[in-house]
Amino acid sequence: MAERVRSDAQLLSHLNGTATTIASGALTVPAKTNYILISNTDSTNKLLVSFDGAVNFLTIQPLASLSLDVDNFSNRNTNLQVKSSASTVAYEVLFGSEI
């Protein structure tokens, strides 16, 4: 079997947003997403990320990022939602997909 590397990714999709203290509706994840980079661009507040319909949240500290290698993320009915720890938080998401 051939070795697979990051350069196999053929499509990048970029999403900018602003989270509030109430969980967002599900973010649209492109088909066949293989990796996700979520960045908290706020210098003060934390970004909270949920993969289970806003039941549990993972915390991303100010000016930090979370990178995930996933296999067909969007085909697993995973519900990606974000919210802020306080006030509003700007964030960026980069999705990498194969064609």
Question: How many domains does the chain fold into?
Answer: 1
What pTM does this model have?
A: 0.82
Helices (H), 1-99: none
In a domain, 98, yes or no: no
CA-CA-CA-CA torsion sign (70, 99, 13, 9): positive
Q: pLDDT of 17-44, one tens digit each?
A: 999 999 988 887 877 788 899 999 999 9
In a domain, 4, yes or no: no
Average pLDDT over residues 4-10: 55
Q: pLDDT of 51-79, one tens digit each?
A: 888 889 999 999 999 998 887 665 565 67
In a domain, 35, yes or no: yes
In a domain, 51, yes or no: yes
In a domain, 3, yes or no: no
In a domain, 54, yes or no: yes
Domain that holds residue 32: 10-93
CATH of the domain at 84: 2.60.120.10
Cα 36 from Cα 95, distance rounded (Å): 5
